Structure 1
Amino acid sequence: MKLTFFRLSILVAALTATTFSGQTLSPVAEPDRPLPDISELMHEVEKHQRASEHIQKDYIYHEVVQQQRSDGKKAVTHEYDVFWLNGVEVQKLTRKDGKDLTAEEQRKEGERIDKEVAKAKERKTKAKTKGVETDSHGNEEITVSRFLELGNFTNPRRVKQNGRETIAIDYAGNPKAKTRNRMEDVIRDLSGTLWIDEQDRTITHLEGQFANSFKVGAGIVMSIKKGTSFSMDQIKINDEVWLPSRIEGHGSARVMLFVSFNGSILVTNSDYRKFKATSTILPGMSTVKDSSSGETNPSMNPGTTVPQH
């Protein structure tokens, strides 16, 4: 497992320490079957996650983000297409409160993504020269090895989750651990539980909470209030890759442009499609080929170019 800055922003966008509706969690009694070593298991999860990202880059899916403010103001709903562009995972805004973007909004969204991808590639290039491992957005990764230094994974047990065998493990940060930056301060004060699919060595369910309030970059980069909690669920698609399916939560958090809310948030993903980019056929318009059906779908909005494979 690895928790990158970008992935942490997705987790913070959730929040609730309760189990998702529709989940079926029950203990599995197998006294004669030994549990794997926690450290070895977590390193296997990290290894599988790296391999999985190569497959994830061939997928696009639809994401709906519903936010309800704590002050009772009207709920806000944004819809996105999530896909990989030139090695960077991006969220392309497509609708706001049920309305399609105007031509001008589409143009601005395309420009935003182009800038985001360019900055990510620049950060990755700089980090590579320093020998630093980064995520798709060029931010430094927090690896399993570092997690083990900042806290403890304990109490492994087998749990049946939606018909599959998983290993549930608790995590608690060590308040006395020495950190190297504010992001590690966040990890040190994080606690919760994660469920790992025993066969695929992949995190399928995650829930936790933050013990303290945090600000990174004077609150510009990240701001999290004490008591913020989160949950995340993943689903196996086409029997080959696990992708996020639901994030839910309550609290107050802001992570750059990725997450900003004070109240509750619900993120649901659907319409997972495997695609191969072909070529640009019109200015600002790319075709996306669904490899499962062989059909070409010019579904991407103007302003963004889909990477060729």
Structure 2
Amino acid sequence: MRIKRAGLLLFTLCVAPALVFGQDAIAAGATDKSKPVSPTTTLSFPSTATTLTQDQIKELIQKVADNDDKNDKVQHDYTYIEREVEHKLDGKGNTKSTETKTYEVLEIYGEQVEKLIEKDDKPLSPKDAAKEDEKIQKIIDKRKNETDKQREKRLKEEEKDREESRKWVHEISDAYNFALVGTEPVGGRQAWVISAEPRPGFVPHLKYANYLPKFHGRVWIDKTDIELSKMDVECLDTVSWGLFVARLHKGTRFALEQTRVNDEVWLPQSLSFKLDARVALLKGFKMEDEQTFRDYKKFRTDAKVTGIGEVPPEK
């Protein structure tokens, strides 16, 4: 499941299904923990503030969203390794089975693509490895032959997605009452801890925004870089969506941690969720999923698609 930059949009049900049904791990090299990364760090209040008003917290969230948009762009310069451990649970919460998959996530003509490299922490057989190489080669060939018109259409769709994300930031700001809980260290760095509880009387304006009051959580915001460093979200009530009625039950949880990479960007370090769900009339299922992200490498400087040659950067 390659990373889908979501930032605070992980609060929304639009992102939760992507994480669950088909959606980083310290970076290589040491970093100076006192040096700010993000250019968007100016706030109207000092980082030493011990109390914040609702307007100040909303300002903080907007800054985080702006920086996350920048992270999204820089992330496309990186390849990385993703390891996913999926535990299927029985009705009592006991583990029935465990499956582990490890991927190399590549950047191919502006698109993140997964290449499976291990199953249950063992290298693929030569036959399966060849299939993965063939899959990657097909993607390269498709993008290499992309016309100017096709590329223009794709880029417009990507910009439309970014614009929708910006709208969601405002919707989230209206949907919750925020409170500064305090400060805590995350990865050796001080972070504000912000709680978000559903605001009574919230009127949604975007599709699926009516689900927001069914979630609550906390976010940890790095005080130096104004970046999302940690997040914990919980489902408060049963949520249903889709033509075939998929459901998330009360108690479903999502947790995200991010880390600073190469003094220039914040990227996921770990993502986990504990799921209790039902799809249509099928039997309900429970699972725990843990994803870790590591070995971030600058694609244009120190990484290449092994076995099938280098892929040129997007123009």
Q: Same fold by TM (over 0.5)?
A: yes
Q: How does 1:2-41 map to 2 (within 5 A)?
A: 2-3=8-9, 8=16, 33-35=49-51, 37-41=56-60
The change in CA–CA distance for 1:185 and 1:121 in structure 2 (over 3 A counts) is farther
Over the aligned positions, Cα root-mean-square deviation in angstroms equals: 4.0
Letter in structure 2 aligned against 1:38: I
1:43 and 2:59 equivalent? no
Q: How does 1:123-272 map to 2 (within 5 A)?
A: 125=156, 133-135=160-162, 143-174=168-199, 176-180=201-205, 183-219=208-244, 223-252=247-276, 262-272=286-296
Partner of 2:28: none
Q: Any stretches of 5+ residues in structure 2 without a counterpart?
A: 1-6, 22-45, 280-284
Partner of 1:68: 87
Length-normalised TM-score, structure 1: 0.69
Aligned partners of 2:183 and 2:190 also within 8 Å:
yes
**Aligned length in residues:** 262
State which drifts further: 169-178 or 240-249: 169-178
CA distance in 1, matches of 2:207, 2:141: 28
1:147 partner SS: helix
1:142 Cα deviation from its structure 2 partner: 5.0
Q: How does 1:60-139 map to 2 (within 5 A)?
A: 60-71=79-90, 72-97=95-120, 98-100=122-124, 101-108=128-135, 125=156, 133-135=160-162
Letter in structure 2 aligned against 1:238: N
Aligned partners of 1:80 and 1:95 also within 8 Å:
yes
Q: Any stretches of 5+ residues in structure 1 without a counterpart?
A: 14-29, 256-260, 277-288, 291-295
Aligned partners of 1:166 and 1:196 also within 8 Å:
yes
Aligned partners of 1:61 and 1:83 also within 8 Å:
yes
Aligned partners of 1:174 and 1:189 also within 8 Å:
no
1:180 Cα deviation from its structure 2 partner: 4.3
2:293 partner SS: strand
1:235 Cα deviation from its structure 2 partner: 1.1
Length-normalised TM-score, structure 2: 0.67
Aligned partners of 2:214 and 2:239 also within 8 Å:
no
After superposition, what is the alpha-carbon deviation per residue over 1:267-301, rounded to whole angstroms, capped at 9, x for unaligned?
1111111121xxxxxxxxxxxx40xxxxx6442x6
1:171 Cα deviation from its structure 2 partner: 1.0
In proportion to residue count, which structure has more strand? 1
After superposition, what is the alpha-carbon deviation per residue over 1:16-53, rounded to whole angstroms, capped at 9, x for unaligned?
xxxxxxxxxxxxxx9x8454511111111111112222
CA distance in 2, matches of 1:213, 1:308: 43
Identical aligned pairs, as a percentage?
26
1:125 Cα deviation from its structure 2 partner: 2.9
Aligned partners of 1:2 and 1:141 also within 8 Å:
no
CA distance in 1, matches of 2:75, 2:58: 25
CA distance in 2, matches of 1:150, 1:191: 10
Aligned partners of 1:235 and 1:244 also within 8 Å:
yes
Aligned partners of 2:88 and 2:97 also within 8 Å:
yes
The change in CA–CA distance for 1:10 and 1:115 in structure 2 (over 3 A counts) is farther
Aligned partners of 1:110 and 1:304 also within 8 Å:
no
Aligned partners of 1:12 and 1:253 also within 8 Å:
no
Q: How does 1:289-304 map to 2 (within 5 A)?
A: 289-290=301-302, 297-299=304-306
Letter in structure 2 aligned against 1:125: K
1:74 partner SS: strand
CA distance in 1, matches of 2:314, 2:225: 29
The change in CA–CA distance for 1:303 and 1:173 in structure 2 (over 3 A counts) is farther
Letter in structure 2 aligned against 1:249: F
CA distance in 2, matches of 1:235, 1:207: 16
Aligned partners of 1:59 and 1:275 also within 8 Å:
yes
In proportion to residue count, which structure has more helix? 2
Which among 76, 79, 85 is matched to residue 57 of structure 1? 76
CA distance in 1, matches of 2:154, 2:264: 30
CA distance in 2, matches of 1:2, 1:245: 16
1:61 partner SS: strand
